[in-house]
A = this chain, B = another copy of it.
Amino acid sequence: MLFYSSRALSHLSRPVGLARFLNYRKISNAPQIAEEVAKLLELKAQLNNEDATNGPHKFILKTAKGTRDYPPQQMVIRQKVLDKVVAVFKRHGAEAIDTPVFELKEVLMGKYGEDSKLIYDLKDQGGEMLSLRYDLTVPFARYLAMNKITNIKRYHIAKVYRRDNPSITRGRYREFYQCDFDIAGAYDPMIPDAECVKIVQEILDSLNIGSYIIKLNHRLLLDGMFEACGVPNDKFRSICSAVDKLDKSPWQEVKKEMIEEKGLMEAVADRIGEYVSLSGKSELVEKLLKDEKLSKNKTAVEGLEAMKLVLKYCDLYNTSSNVVFDLSLARGLDYYTGIIYEAVLLGDPAEGSEVSVGSVAGGGRYDNLVGMFDPKKKQVPCVGVSIGIERIFSVIETKLIAAKEKVRTTEVEVYVASAQKNLSEERMKLCNELWKEGFKVEHSYKRNPKLLAQLQYCEEQGIPLVLILGESELERGVVKIREVTSRVETEIERNKLVEELQNRLGQ
Contacts and interface: CB of A to CB of B under 8 A. Distances in A.
Interface of A: 4, 7-8, 10-11, 41, 44-45, 48-49, 51-53, 56-57, 59, 61-65, 67-72, 75-76, 79, 90-107, 109-110, 120-130, 132, 142-143, 145-147, 152, 154, 159, 161, 163, 175, 183, 185, 187-188, 191-192, 194-195, 198, 202, 313, 316-318, 372-373, 375, 409-412, 424-425, 428-429, 432, 435-436, 438-442, 445-447
A342 B241 CA distance: 56
Contact of A122 (B72, B96, B121, B446): B121
Contacts of A375: 57, 61
A128 B65 contact: yes
Given A95-B410, A375-B57, A446-B187, A127 B163 contact: yes
Nearest to A154: B72
Nearest to A316: B428
Contacts of A439: 91
A119 to B, nearest CB: 9
Given A7-B127, A52-B109, A61-B146, A435 B69 contact: no
A484 B312 CA distance: 32
- How many protomers of this protein does the assembly include? 2
Contacts of A163: 125, 127
Given A120-B125, A125-B163, A440-B93, A104 B62 contact: yes
A97 B120 contact: no
Interface of A is mostly: mixed
Closest 4 pairs (CB-CB, A-B):
A187-B445, A7-B126, A72-B95, A67-B100
Contacts of A76: 95-96
B126 A10 contact: yes
A11 B126 contact: yes
A105 B52 contact: yes
A69 B143 contact: yes
Contacts of A195: 445
Contacts of A68: 100
A90 B411 contact: yes
Contacts of A316: 425, 428-429, 432
Contacts of A202: 435
A487 B333 CA distance: 47
B75 A95 contact: yes
A98 B75 contact: yes
A52 B108 CA distance: 10
Residue of A44, A122, A142, A198 with most partner-chain B CB within 10 A: A122
A91 B441 contact: yes
Contacts of A71: 97, 147
A384 to B, nearest CB: 13
Contacts of A75: 95-98
A104 B64 contact: yes
17 contacts: A45-B129, A48-B129, A63-B100, A63-B103, A63-B104, A67-B100, A69-B100, A72-B96, A93-B441, A95-B410, A101-B101, A120-B123, A121-B125, A122-B122, A188-B424, A188-B446, A191-B447
A277 to B, nearest CB: 33
